[in-house]
Amino acid sequence: MSKLCAICEKKPVDELFKPFCSKRCADLDLHRWLSGRYVVPGKAAVEADEDFDPE
């Protein structure tokens, strides 16, 4: 039994684009990450302090 594409959920996964069925679905996933649609939960980022010296 083959797994279905993580985006369209209609076509089987292609080994070249795993876990997607095509370049199109892989590109759609990348666009969702880059546009901020997907978010990894966690603490809010702290803005950098200009006077902070890590040494």
Each residue's pLDDT, cut to its tens digit, for the chain (55 residues) gives 679 999 999 999 999 999 999 999 999 999 999 999 998 888 876 665 566 666 6
Q: Is the peptide bond before 12 cis (omega within 30 degrees of 0)?
A: no
**How far apart are the C-alpha atoms of 4 and 48, rounded to whole Å?**
42
Question: How far from the centroid of its chain's Cα atoms is residue 18's Cα?
Answer: 13
Give residue 43's pLDDT: 81
The whole-number pLDDT of residue 42 equals 84
Q: What pLDDT does 14 receive?
A: 96
Structure tokens at 54: 């890590």
